[in-house]
Chains A and B, each alone.
Chain A
Amino acid sequence: MPPRSQTDALRGSLDLLVLKTLSLAPMHGWGISQRVQQISEGVLDVNQGSLYPALQRLEKDGLITSEWGTTDNNRRARYYRLTAGGRRALGKELESWRRFAAGLEAVLRTT
């Protein structure tokens, strides 16, 4: 496994969290940020804005798409949804993440 810099790891985990969030239901940016904050307990605490480059990147890679929609209180918002490719990528990412985490866990436990 090639060494990953800290930013890479963060970025990777953010992508994963976004994909995971969107796998439940289409969501707008602020909604995703709230959800990610809840489940990650603070990965996005530093900067909520960093979500948007991640969204753009995922959209460019064809993992998610977006369209305009209206929120419950009737405001215009951009909704993101997972594509079929995104769903596949999520599965793969989750798998490799679990392996990575398990490996890390094992190392941390032995040392």
Chain B
Amino acid sequence: MSWLASTRTRLRLLFARRAAESRMDEEFRFHLDMETERLVREHGLEPEEARRQALAAFGGVERYKEELRDGRGLAWLGGLSLDFKLGVRMAAKYPGLSLVSVLGMAVAIAIGALVFGWAAAMLDPTLPLEGGDRIVAVQTDRADVPGDFDQHVLHDFVVWRTELTTVRDLGAFQLGDRNLIVERGGKGEDRVTDVVAVAEMSAAGFRVGRVPPLLGRPLVDDDERAGGPPVLVIGEREWQRYFGGDPNIIGQTVRLGETVHTVVGVMREDFRFPRNDGFWVPLRLDASQYEIGAGPPIQIFGRLADGVTFEQAQAQVAAIGHRLAAEYPETHEYRRPTVVPFARTAEPTASGPEMTWLLYMIQLGASLLLVVIAANVAALVYARTAARTAEIAVRTALGASRARVITQLFVEALVLSAAAAAVGLSLAAFALGWMEQLLRQKSQDLPFWFHLGLSPGLIAYVAGLALVGGTVVGVVPALKATGRRAYGSLQQFAARGSGMKLGSTWTALIVAQVALTVAVLPASVHHASALLRTSMRGSEYPAGEFLRARVSLDREEAPPRADSAAAAAHQRRFDARFASRAEALLQRLGAEPGVAAAFVSDFPGGEPHRRFEIEGDPASRNAAADVGGEKTAVLSTPSSATVGFFELFDAPIVAGRGFTDADTAEGSTAVIVDTAFAARIPGGNILGRRIRSVESRRASAGDEAGPAPWLEIVGVVADPPSTTTDPDDVALPNVYRAAAPSGLRRDGAQATSILLRLRVRSGLTPAFTRHLRDMVVETDPSFQLHDVQTDAEVLSRGARELRTFALAVAFATLSVLLLSAAGIYAMLSFTVAQRRREIGIRVALGADSRRIVSSIFRRASAQLGAGVAVGLILALALDRATGGMLMGRLSAETAGLRGAVILMPIVAAIVMVVGLLAALGPARRGLAVQPTEALRDE
């Protein structure tokens, strides 16, 4: 589209130019003909002579053609293209400077573009469906809990569906996981099982999407009828993956959990509504089964009716909300239904003004980074521009206006920043694509509309950055170089070597540059190398034998009443079912040869316990962060107690005793701590001491249940190996309690999964993983195994991510180092070069060259030394500030800064060497100047 328009404009300009040229040719020809004829007629000249005289009188046809072309208004463009040519030539003439400038700005632009791409995906998500911006969600905010939603809105949904005129195709959906069991061929052979996300969705969802099915039909309203045959629509991707793209898929049966469904349709790949779905079953909910305010959690969507604005829809929804709140105050008093763009209802999205504000601030910071780097490049370019004072003076004398000279210098800088923008944009495009891929791998339920990549907005932003960069790099030095003082420089140029006296400004620039380099670089280098070291660290245990997976159970029907007693009874029933399945699974696993398994939970009381206090040590309560365990695992042993968590990891009990069956009983207070925890308990004697969890502030505010019960340390176990590559997470202490399957707690009240840890002594094979899936499904079709991964996979993925990140940091650091080294070099060599004449004169007057050299180096060293000193002070102040603020957990990072202190002298030395080398060249050239030459200039 846009390229079409621009091509048209270019063609028109081209033809306009042609027309103007031919008009000019014709006019000139006519003029010369008339003049020739006149000369022949009036002066009786021979036609040839007349022609010659006519041409002479005209005075240079080409010259006036050129003048007319200039006057046509495209001259500035012609000049600009010349400027661009000059700019490219200039960039090629100083390859080092160009490389450094482009690299530095490219890194800054890439970072800015990354942040922009990310922020755009968060701030302005759009549904890639026809009229996707008019697809909305009706969310029910809770006025009593800001930021929370009420999803038990089945009755409200029924009201909205009948009354709302501003939102059409109103529907609801519910997301959940199911075991997909596909029997290919005969029974039992070639069975595929997997856990898949299933959307129970109103048929309206397919109308909202406006995407026709690939095969068969979408869901229709009739499918929602209670008691209707179980039907299923699948996505194109799933059709290919699980059914090999079978053209006869329609009418085949597929088992999802407990229910066998008939496939009635396949949807195209571009329809993955409402989240990132490929399995759709009809949502069959009967509001009459539930009391007002009760029912399963559902989410509501619809499409704005034609010609209706968000505000109108919002007003109608709010009006209905008010009426319901008056009608049913006990359930609806705090419900505030609102209409929001559907694309904003799923993570990751910027929710709330704070988040938006934060994103804008980060964006601003990233953009400022370019300004900082561009200022650095500007200092470099300034040195070059200053060296070109003579050229500028000559051009000015020849009639170039100040604006013209500035334009030229700006365009020269623009060539650099445009190259940097191209490099930065490609880097950012690559990184964004990589990030999206990574996110999609990590999170299956990333919304289908989430997209990180190039967009017109992003390209415009980068173009803007390039302009800003070009302005800082080109215009600022140009303004200085062409300032009023520079007008005298033609005389200066004639009489002496170069213009521009900078003196103290220059010294300040050098000192600032050196100081920043010394202050910032070591920490960054240290960080990158620490990350790299961590990523290279091998695993300390046979990671290939270990497997982790989350286990969960299909959701049950919601309780018909909304009160807490009903919810609790519902939860109890579910827990009992879960425990029996878990027990059965552990029994089966225990019967497998060479297999050991245990369930582990981070939520022993439904809450992650992070901090502990020690009995009889009141100080520990305040300093709980220093004592506390980060992770508490409840481990489950089957009743036979033959397999335990510690045995799983070959972690020996180093003091006290291990767990017994009695410890799994409800109300048991026995805990085992690991050596990392034990090391934090003062006084040495650990066994028999009692600890208790210090509730987090949020939990204690929520319920006044009193302090947590005291727990008695009965044993100390060697630290189990860590599967994290996070350097901060290595030696975090753990507290373990034992539990039977019935005492298992899942992660919070909402989620229904628990971690299964498993070891196969003979090593893990894909065949075993398949076997494990079968075992789980055979235990119960609604029992699910998620996120199956070996520890080796977890470790290598973590290491890979860390390595990539470290390399990115190293790359950025390196370019900054390069940039500052080049900056220091350019500035110092420039200042020394300015003294060349002075040096020549001193040599002519018989000064000792050794003394001259030492005076040059003394001055350079003083500038560099001042910079290093300021840098060290800055770094120490920074260290002090962060060390003072970031206590506890962040101690590793302050230690990192301390480590960086060791690097400081090295960086300082590099800076000094670079600086002195920079002074060396011009000093030698100064000494080589013939005294006569130096004096003649005077």
Chain A partners chain B: yes
- Do B27 and A29 touch across chains, with their CB atoms under 8 A apart? yes
13 contacts between A and B (CB under 8 A): A28-B30, A29-B27, A29-B30, A29-B31, A33-B31, A47-B59, A48-B58, A49-B58, A52-B24, A53-B71, A77-B27, A77-B30, A78-B30
Task: Write the A55-80 contact mask toward B (1 if CB under 8 angstroms, else 0).
Answer: 01100100000000000000111100
Residues from chain B with Cβ under 8 Å of A49 in the complex: 28, 58-61, 63-64
Residues from chain B with Cβ under 8 Å of A52 in the complex: 24, 27-28, 64, 67-68
Given pairs A47-B60, A52-B28, A53-B68, 4 additional interface contacts (CB within 8 A)? A29-B27, A49-B28, A76-B30, A78-B30
Closest chain B residue, CB of each to CB of A77: B30
Task: Write the A24-51 contact mask toward B (1 if CB under 8 angstroms, else 0).
Answer: 0000111001100000000001111110
The A-contacting residues of B in range 6-30, CB under 8 angstroms, are 23-24, 26-28, 30
Residues from chain B with Cβ under 8 Å of A30 in the complex: 30-31, 34-35
- The yes or no answer to B72 lying at the interface (CB within 8 A) is yes
The A-contacting residues of B in range 790-815, CB under 8 angstroms, are none
Residues of B in contact (CB 8 Å), total 23
- In order of increasing CB-CB distance, the 10 nearest A-B pairs are A47-B59, A49-B64, A30-B34, A30-B31, A49-B58, A53-B67, A49-B59, A56-B71, A48-B58, A78-B27
Task: Write the B92-131 contact mask toward A (1 if CB under 8 angstroms, else 0).
Answer: 0000000000000000000000000000000000000000
Measured CA separation A75–B611 after assembly (Å): 102
Measured CA separation A77–B31 after assembly (Å): 9
- The yes or no answer to B751 lying at the interface (CB within 8 A) is no
- Do A75 and B73 touch across chains, with their CB atoms under 8 A apart? no
Closest chain A residue, CB of each to CB of B20: A56
Residues from chain B with Cβ under 8 Å of A75 in the complex: 30, 33
Minimum CB–CB distance from B640 to chain A (whole Å) comes to: 100
- The yes or no answer to B502 lying at the interface (CB within 8 A) is no
Partner of A48, one of B26, B35, B67: B35
Closest chain B residue, CB of each to CB of A53: B67
- Do A50 and B27 touch across chains, with their CB atoms under 8 A apart? no
Known: A47-B58, A49-B58, A50-B64. A56 touches B30 (CB 8 A): no
Residues of A in contact (CB 8 Å), total 20
Task: Write the A73-92 contact mask toward B (1 if CB under 8 angstroms, else 0).
Answer: 00111100000000000000
Minimum CB–CB distance from B532 to chain A (whole Å) comes to: 64
Minimum CB–CB distance from A73 to chain B (whole Å) comes to: 9
- Do A76 and B26 touch across chains, with their CB atoms under 8 A apart? yes
Residues from chain A with Cβ under 8 Å of B61 in the complex: 49
- The yes or no answer to B57 lying at the interface (CB within 8 A) is yes
Measured CA separation A70–B68 after assembly (Å): 23
Measured CA separation A62–B200 after assembly (Å): 71
- Do B59 and A78 touch across chains, with their CB atoms under 8 A apart? no
Residues from chain B with Cβ under 8 Å of A46 in the complex: 59
Closest chain B residue, CB of each to CB of A44: B57
- Do A78 and B58 touch across chains, with their CB atoms under 8 A apart? no
Measured CA separation A57–B73 after assembly (Å): 10
State the majority secondary structure of interface residues on B. Answer: helix
Residues from chain A with Cβ under 8 Å of B38 in the complex: 34
Minimum CB–CB distance from B51 to chain A (whole Å) comes to: 14
Closest chain A residue, CB of each to CB of B54: A48
Minimum CB–CB distance from B749 to chain A (whole Å) comes to: 78
Minimum CB–CB distance from B172 to chain A (whole Å) comes to: 67
Partner of A60, one of B31, B33, B71: B71
Residues from chain A with Cβ under 8 Å of B24 in the complex: 52
Closest chain B residue, CB of each to CB of A33: B31
Minimum CB–CB distance from B252 to chain A (whole Å) comes to: 77
Residues from chain A with Cβ under 8 Å of B73 in the complex: 60
Residues from chain B with Cβ under 8 Å of A48 in the complex: 31, 35, 57-59
Residues from chain B with Cβ under 8 Å of A77 in the complex: 27, 30
Residues from chain B with Cβ under 8 Å of A76 in the complex: 26, 30
Measured CA separation A50–B28 after assembly (Å): 11
Partner of A56, one of B33, B57, B68: B68
Residues from chain A with Cβ under 8 Å of B60 in the complex: 47, 49
Residues from chain A with Cβ under 8 Å of B71 in the complex: 53, 56-57, 60
Measured CA separation A45–B59 after assembly (Å): 10
Measured CA separation A50–B57 after assembly (Å): 10
Measured CA separation A76–B23 after assembly (Å): 11
- Do B30 and A47 touch across chains, with their CB atoms under 8 A apart? no
- Do A78 and B23 touch across chains, with their CB atoms under 8 A apart? yes
Minimum CB–CB distance from B361 to chain A (whole Å) comes to: 48
Residues from chain A with Cβ under 8 Å of B68 in the complex: 52-53, 56
Residues from chain A with Cβ under 8 Å of B64 in the complex: 47, 49-50, 52-53
- Do B35 and A47 touch across chains, with their CB atoms under 8 A apart? no
Residues from chain A with Cβ under 8 Å of B23 in the complex: 78
Closest chain B residue, CB of each to CB of A75: B30
Closest chain A residue, CB of each to CB of B32: A30
Task: Write the A1-37 contact mask toward B (1 if CB under 8 angstroms, else 0).
Answer: 0000000000000000000000000001110011000
Minimum CB–CB distance from A98 to chain B (whole Å) comes to: 28
Measured CA separation A60–B67 after assembly (Å): 14
Closest chain B residue, CB of each to CB of A31: B34
Find the residue from A45, A46, A47 having the highest chain B CB count within 10 A. Answer: A47
Measured CA separation A28–B29 after assembly (Å): 12
Measured CA separation A77–B28 after assembly (Å): 10
Find the residue from B23, B26, B27, B38 having the highest chain A CB count within 10 A. Answer: B27
Measured CA separation A34–B33 after assembly (Å): 13
Measured CA separation A27–B26 after assembly (Å): 16
Closest chain A residue, CB of each to CB of B63: A49
Find the residue from B23, B30, B31 having the highest chain A CB count within 10 A. Answer: B31
Measured CA separation A78–B59 after assembly (Å): 20
- Do B26 and A78 touch across chains, with their CB atoms under 8 A apart? yes
Minimum CB–CB distance from A75 to chain B (whole Å) comes to: 7
Residues from chain A with Cβ under 8 Å of B58 in the complex: 47-49
The A-contacting residues of B in range 760-804, CB under 8 angstroms, are none
Residues from chain A with Cβ under 8 Å of B35 in the complex: 30, 48
Closest chain A residue, CB of each to CB of B33: A75
Minimum CB–CB distance from B684 to chain A (whole Å) comes to: 95
Minimum CB–CB distance from B202 to chain A (whole Å) comes to: 66
Minimum CB–CB distance from A69 to chain B (whole Å) comes to: 11
Closest chain A residue, CB of each to CB of B35: A30
Measured CA separation A110–B27 after assembly (Å): 46
The A-contacting residues of B in range 27-81, CB under 8 angstroms, are 27-28, 30-31, 33-35, 38, 57-61, 63-64, 67-68, 71-73
Minimum CB–CB distance from A29 to chain B (whole Å) comes to: 5
Find the residue from A45, A56, A76 having the highest chain B CB count within 10 A. Answer: A56
- Do B26 and A56 touch across chains, with their CB atoms under 8 A apart? no
Known: A28-B30, A29-B27. A56 touches B59 (CB 8 A): no
Find the residue from B35, B64, B72 having the highest chain A CB count within 10 A. Answer: B64
Minimum CB–CB distance from B65 to chain A (whole Å) comes to: 9
Measured CA separation A47–B57 after assembly (Å): 5
Measured CA separation A76–B33 after assembly (Å): 12
Task: Write the B308-344 contact mask toward A (1 if CB under 8 angstroms, else 0).
Answer: 0000000000000000000000000000000000000
Minimum CB–CB distance from B636 to chain A (whole Å) comes to: 89
Minimum CB–CB distance from A110 to chain B (whole Å) comes to: 35
Minimum CB–CB distance from A56 to chain B (whole Å) comes to: 5
Residues from chain A with Cβ under 8 Å of B31 in the complex: 29-30, 33, 48
Residues from chain B with Cβ under 8 Å of A53 in the complex: 64, 67-68, 71
Known: A76-B26, A78-B27. A50 touches B59 (CB 8 A): yes
Residues from chain B with Cβ under 8 Å of A29 in the complex: 27, 30-31
Residues from chain B with Cβ under 8 Å of A56 in the complex: 68, 71-72
Measured CA separation A57–B27 after assembly (Å): 16
Measured CA separation A110–B227 after assembly (Å): 118
Minimum CB–CB distance from B158 to chain A (whole Å) comes to: 71
Measured CA separation A45–B33 after assembly (Å): 18
Minimum CB–CB distance from A57 to chain B (whole Å) comes to: 6
Measured CA separation A103–B67 after assembly (Å): 33
The A-contacting residues of B in range 669-722, CB under 8 angstroms, are none
Closest chain A residue, CB of each to CB of B23: A78
Measured CA separation A47–B23 after assembly (Å): 20
Measured CA separation A34–B59 after assembly (Å): 15
